[in-house]
Amino acid sequence: MKKIPKTLDSAELAELARKDVAAALAEDLGAGDLTAGLIDPNRTARARILARESAVLCGAPWVTAALTALDPQVQLTWHVAEGQRCAANQTVLDIQGSARALLSAERTALNFLQLLSGVATKTATYVAAVAGTRAQIVDTRKTLPGLRLAQKYAVRTGGGVNHRIGLYDAILIKENHIAAAGGIAAVLAQADALSATADFVEIEVETLEQLQEALTHGAAMVLLDNMDLPTLRAAVAINQELGASRSTGPAILEISGGVTLEGLRTLAETGVDRISIGVLTKDVSATDFSMRFEAL
C-alpha cells in the first residue's frame, strides 16, 4: 500500500481537497439543486464569507475546490491567508460568479471551512498552552471517517504535530499486543524486525517498571498511559538516567489519556516530549462562518 504523506505539497493538497469536495457535493446535490433551479442560470452574484468569531482560518483549498467545481470561472479574493487568525465579523473571502453555482456550493464550502478552522483553532489553543516547554501537541486517529487527512492537515495548520496516519505507517504497541506477544522484550524484538517498514516504533507502558524494561530493551519512543504527575516526573528522570548509558540516548516520551486544557501546562512541565490529544479532532466545535450574497 502506498503511504499517505504527513505533509502535502500544493498539488497534493489541491487533489485531496478536490476528492473530499467531490464526495460532499455528490452527497448534497444528488441529481441537482432544486431550489437553485429557481435562479436565472445567466445571473451572476457577489458573495462574501464572514467569520463570526475569532479563529485560525483553515480549509481554503476545500472552499476553492467547492466553488470552482460548480463554476470554473469563479473569482476568489482571500483577505485572510491559510493559518492566519481572523477576527470576529471579518470578511475572509470575496467571491464573484454564477449565482446558481454559489448557492449550490455554499453549504459544502462552509462545512469544510467551519470544521477545519475549528480543528486548527483548538490545536492552536493547546499549542499556546505549552509554549516554552519541550512538549509538542500531537493528534490521534480519533478523526471523522473519511476526513482523516483533512483533519490532520488542520492540526498542522494550527501548529500541532501528526501522529501516525493509520495502522499501516507506524507501530504502536499497546497492552494487548504486549500480552499476545509474550511480554515487552519479546514484542520489541518482533517490532525491531519490522521497523524498516514503519515510520517509528512506540510502546505503551502503564508503570515505571514497564518503562524501565522497555528502555532496557531499546525502546526509542514510549507512551506513558494515564500516569499521575509524580509518576510522570519519575518517568522523565528514569528516561534521562537510563538514556545516558544508551547509544541512542533517552527515548521520546509521550503522554496520553485524561489530558485536559486546564492541566496541560502542568503536564508539559514534567519534561515529556509529546502530548497526544484526541479531542483536537474528535470533539470539534465548528467555527462560525456565514456567506452573504449580493445579486449583480
- Helix, strand, coil percentages, rounded to 5, for the chain: 45, 20, 35
Residue-wise burial string across 143-179, b where 16 or more C-beta atoms lie within 10 A, e elsewhere: beeebbbbbbbbbbbbbbbbbbbeeebbbbbeeeebe
Residue tagged active-site, from 18, 107, 246, 265: 107
Residue tagged active-site, from 18, 48, 141, 174: 174
Residue tagged active-site, from 19, 142, 246, 282: 142
The radius of gyration of the chain's CA atoms, rounded to the nearest angstrom, is 23
Residue type present at position 99: A
- Catalytic residue flag (residue 107): yes
Are 56 and 83 spatial neighbours (Cβ–Cβ below 8 Å)? Answer: yes
How many CB atoms are located within 10 Å of the residue 134 CB? Answer: 12
How many CB atoms are located within 10 Å of the residue 256 CB? Answer: 19
Residue from 57, 104, 65, 102 nearest 81 by CA? 57
Q: Which three cell numbers stand for residue 220?
A: 526509542
- Catalytic residue flag (residue 225): yes
Residue tagged active-site, from 106, 204, 254, 273: 204
Are 220 and 246 spatial neighbours (Cβ–Cβ below 8 Å)? Answer: no
Residue tagged active-site, from 225, 265, 269, 288: 225
How many residues does this entry show for the chain?
296
- Catalytic residue flag (residue 175): no
Residue 262: strand, helix, or coil: helix
How many CB atoms are located within 10 Å of the residue 115 CB? Answer: 23
Catalytic residue numbers read: 107, 142, 174, 204, 225
